[in-house]
Amino acid sequence: MLTKEKPPIKLNHFPETEKSKKPFYFLKKRLFLIGFFVILGMGFGIYSVFPEPQSQEDQLTDLINRIESGEDLPSGEMRDYCHLMAVLRDSISPQCVCVLDGINWDNPPKNPEKLPKVWELIQDEPNNGNRLRFQDKTYTKIVVGFDATNSNGDERPHWHRENPNKKKGQEYLDQHCNTLYAVCIKIHTFT
């Protein structure tokens, strides 16, 4: 009997190629890990350089200390101070009324419909000379009044800005936030 020789088995396996792929795979994995730790280290470095943000109470305390030391705050910081006082301490000084009310008292709205959107009608007194009272929705202590007639009953529209820290005889503020020492002084009369 004749035996057939088996054909040699061809291997599709090239060890050189496999060896060359292996180091590349490990290099890629190592580069990824190195990159990850570098980015992580940079993040911790940046975090440690920047100061922690102050709480609102700390910001307010800092601003109060600066004001008490006699420093004049820039308009943006004064607005922050007034806002924080209104929100955290429920206190609005006459100077803060000027900062927060959003009305140009050198040229106020000619009628209540032209008030900024944050104002809402809180009291309508039709039997008292068509007097209207408006309150800023954001700051409950800021109130302005619009009176369509003067004390003689003549049609002379004008505004009153109420002092949030009312005392007898100091119920109103003028257009520069100074306390008025009269019961009823008009801020602005339209002619």
What is the C-alpha to C-alpha distance for residues 131 and 101, in angstroms, rounded to an integer?
19
DSSP for residue 118: T
Confidence of residue 185 (pLDDT cuts 50, 70, 90): very low
Whole-prediction pTM: 0.61
- For 152-171, the pLDDT digits (tens) are 667 778 888 888 888 777 88
**Confidence band for 70, pLDDT divided at 50, 70 and 90:** very high
Q: Where does the pLDDT of residue 62 fall: very low under 50, low under 70, confident under 90, or very high at 90 and above?
A: very high
Spatial separation of the C-alpha atoms in residues 9 and 105, rounded to whole Å: 100
C-alpha to C-alpha distance for 86 and 142, rounded to whole angstroms: 10
User: How sure is the predictor about 65, in pLDDT bands with cuts at 50, 70 and 90?
Assistant: very high
SS3 readout for 8-66: CCCCCCCHHHHHHHHHHHHHHHHHHHHHHHHHHHHHHHHHHHCCCCCCHHHHHHHHHHH
pLDDT beyond 50 at 183: no
**pLDDT given for residue 68 in this prediction:** 93
